[in-house]
Amino acid sequence: MVAVDDLGDHLRLLADGTRLRLLHLLDAEPLTVAELQETLGLGQSSISGHLAKLKQSGLIHDVAEGASRRYRMRSDVATHLAAAWGAVRGLSADDFQTRADRERLTELRKTNAAGWVDRVAGSLDREYAPGRTWAALCQGLLSFARFGRCIDVGAGDGSMAELLAPRCEQLTCVDPNPAMVAAAVKRIDALRLARVTVLPAGGEAIPLPDACADSVLFLQSLQYIPVPAAALREAVRLLAPGGRLLVLTLVAHDQAEAERFGHRHRGFTPRQLVGWARGLDDVRCEPLPAEPRPPHFQSLVLTARKPE
Ligand SMILES: C[S@@+](CC[C@H](N)C(=O)[O-])C[C@H]1O[C@@H](n2cnc3c(N)ncnc32)[C@H](O)[C@@H]1O
């Protein structure tokens, strides 16, 4: 049984023609304000006002998508409101206006799809494109990479091992943290990753022979290592002639927030990293673009090669 007051609210919500048109469109597929605006031919403030009311009622919700938001029907609408919407939808589904809106949206889709590539030229890095995620791009590009006998220093819980192992002749995951080591062993076993070893050790003293590695990696781990200069000296020792070093860390910053993540160092300057890569050739050190969200941490990447 529904309280009469609540029923009144539900019916008032659904009695508005614009809101009904919005609901019919969203019932078929999730849409952005711009798409709804174009389809209904109404101004943004009017559409946004109605969407706010529908959102407040619990019929729809929205999810951020690039610079805009996409609205969709909720799957957990309260029973009586869902029943009221179900009844109204049944009565208005074949209405002339509802059908006209759907046809207009289909037309707009065709026009917009044809112009999508032109429209995003110059802003593709901020736009959503299906499948164009950083994870997919990284994994795709990694298919060309070969790491040979690789040592990953500060390897963590093995999440990177999953990516690296297929591109390594042999992978050694070095980490001193017992919880990380246990998680890495568990993950590597579960995934049955071949030729992967987990070595509990600190980066400053790795119990492996000289010149045993074709690549040594530090993937956001240098800022955790108490004596980073010693860890890089160790990396130079472990590299075989022609072997390559990759350090991905943070640019020097003044954010106390980093300590919350267990960092020992507030990033590094290129000068520091280059100085610690002494004895290596082809040393390159470059900052990457800052993260878009505050406090805008910025990564620093160093690559170098052991002389033949
Ligand atoms: C943010 S995690 C990065 C893990 C991994 N590289 C990744 O990208 O998924 C930093 C890692 O550095 C490790 N670490 C801490 N002290 C270290 C040390 N002295 N030598 C090597 N690694 C260390 C931590 O245990 C942690 O697993």
CB 163 within 8 A of CB 139: yes
Helix axes 4-14, 44-57, angle to 10 degrees: 150
- Please say if the pLDDT value at position 34 is more than 80: yes
Residue 1: its pLDDT value, please? 58
Residue 123: its pLDDT value, please? 85
> In what helix (H) or strand (E) does residue 65 lie, and over which residues does it extend?
strand 60-65
- Please say if the pLDDT value at position 169 is more than 80: yes
What is the share, in percent, of the chain residues with pLDDT greater than 70?
Answer: 98
- Please say if the pLDDT value at position 2 is more than 70: no
What is the share, in percent, of the chain residues with pLDDT greater than 90?
Answer: 81
- Please say if the pLDDT value at position 42 is more than 70: yes
- Please say if the pLDDT value at position 277 is more than 80: yes
Ligand 1: residues with CB < 6 A are: 153-156, 159-160, 175-177, 180, 202-203, 219-221, 224-226
Minimum CA distance residue for ligand 1 atom 8: 219
- Please say if the pLDDT value at position 50 is more than 80: yes
d(CA 275, CA 269): 10
For a pocket test of ligand 1, which of 224, 232, 247, 250 has the largest count of ligand atoms closer than 8 A to its C-beta?
A: 224
Residue 192: its pLDDT value, please? 94
For a pocket test of ligand 1, which of 221, 250, 265 has the largest count of ligand atoms closer than 8 A to its C-beta?
A: 221
d(CA 208, CA 285): 27
Q: b or e along 144-172 (b: 16 or more beta carbons within 10 Å of the residue's beta carbon)?
A: eeebbbbbbbbbbbbebbeebbebbebbb
d(CA 57, CA 7): 12
For the record, the structure tokens of 156 come out as 């963590």
Express each pLDDT in 197-250 by its tens digit.
999 999 999 999 999 999 999 999 999 999 999 999 999 999 999 999 999 999
Coil, strand or helix at 156 = coil
Site of tokens 């951020």:
64
Express each pLDDT in 280-301 by its tens digit.
999 999 999 999 888 999 999 9
In DSSP terms, 173 is beta-bridged to: 152, 198
**Domains of the chain listed by start with CATH number:** 4-113 (1.10.10.10), 134-305 (3.40.50.150)
Residue 145: its pLDDT value, please? 95
Express each pLDDT in 59-115 by its tens digit.
999 998 767 789 999 999 999 899 999 999 999 988 999 999 999 999 988 887 777
pTM (2 d.p.): 0.73
